Amino acid sequence: MDMMVMRTRSSSSSCSFFVAIVLVFSSLCLANSEHLDSTTTTMRIGTSSTAKQKCNVYQGSWVFDNSYPLYDSRACPFIRKEFDCQKYGRPDKSYLKYKWKPKDCEIPRFDGRDFLKRFKGKKIMFIGDSISNNHWESLLCLLYTAVPGTNTIGQANGSVTTITFKDFGVSVSLFMSPYLVDIEEQRIGHVLKLNSLKNGNIWKEMDVLIFNSWLWWYRNDSRQQWDFIQDGKKIVKDMDRMDAFRKGLMTWAKWVDSTVDTAKTKVMFQGITPSHYDGKGWNKPGVINCGSETKPISGSIYPGGLPRAWFVLKDVLNQIRKPVHFLDITTLSQLRKDGHPSKYNVFGGMDCTHWCLAGVQDTWSQLLYVALTT
């Protein structure tokens, strides 16, 4: 299979960046006694090196902070045109100026150089759909802009795209797998196999895994990637999508318990990402998209509540015997109805599913940093 290679080098004495990067994707559409507590991260606060406090970093609110954003999107060569809201004319900038403030503690500001030093020689991989792509690019931007003059090399091969920070030996990969379980082409068509997960042989070799799945499970239009669903020996044209989602997640969970060496590999699962196409969720009935939203919802509670898929995911994660951290970004992202590209993207279409970069997903990366380092 053909391999695509790209190299970038930035200079600390120049504002220009040379970028030779082509990322090819087929479509925009896009833990029990041993566990890390699935919603609480213990982190070090205060001035004493021994001072620790239990803090649920996923409960809090958004506060204005003029020191944000964490980077200038113009300085990052990895942002897809669909997510580069400032480049494509978004007139407001206030959405860039909010930081996440947990209720009971302060979380450290993302330190890209520290991240690269801590994970020197390690392999990090995001696995999922276009939301994983979005998050992957956020982490790449945070790392790249933290080390001016660093050398990167990129490789794309099939479903995998990897950016390596050569000076640190850190690779950050994206593996496109919207359902996590397999889709196979058979005589009858493309079959979504709820009990099959073959790509795990690649995933288990990584040092950090960040999984995500949900966005594609409810699609039933021309973008649907399968013609039939196989559950055990039974093949059907369709089935209850939430039930299919649970079954697919259980296959993934069994793979983690049976195959992943969690002494070597840290496993994360990202929470359900919200969309903002229905104003009833934020007490604005009649609003049909995020196009006019410029501020977060105040406070810590989303009026529309958690989506059903969140409870399914949480239940599956609680059944895994091995340590898996729940990167629970759902509620904090629900509060950010202002954080989507809306029409400010290369296509000009209304997008209230993905996220502007810089923006909300940089907080996801910050919380990933906290989960990995505390």
Catalytic residues: 130, 351, 354
User: What tokens does 164 get?
Assistant: 């390596």
For residue 169, CA distances in Å to 7, 117, 123 come to: 14, 9, 9
Q: What is the DSSP letter of 298?
A: S
Instruction: Find the farthest-apart pair of alpha carbons in the chain and give their distance in angstroms, rounded.
Output: 65
Distance separating alpha carbons of residues 135 and 362, to the nearest angstrom: 8
Distance separating alpha carbons of residues 357 and 79, to the nearest angstrom: 7
In the beta sheet, which residues pair with residue 18? Answer: 9
DSSP H or E run through 202: helix 200-203
Question: Under a CB-based contact definition with an 8 Å cutoff, are residues 219 and 30 in contact?
Answer: no
Distance separating alpha carbons of residues 155 and 161, to the nearest angstrom: 6
- Residue 327, amino acid: L
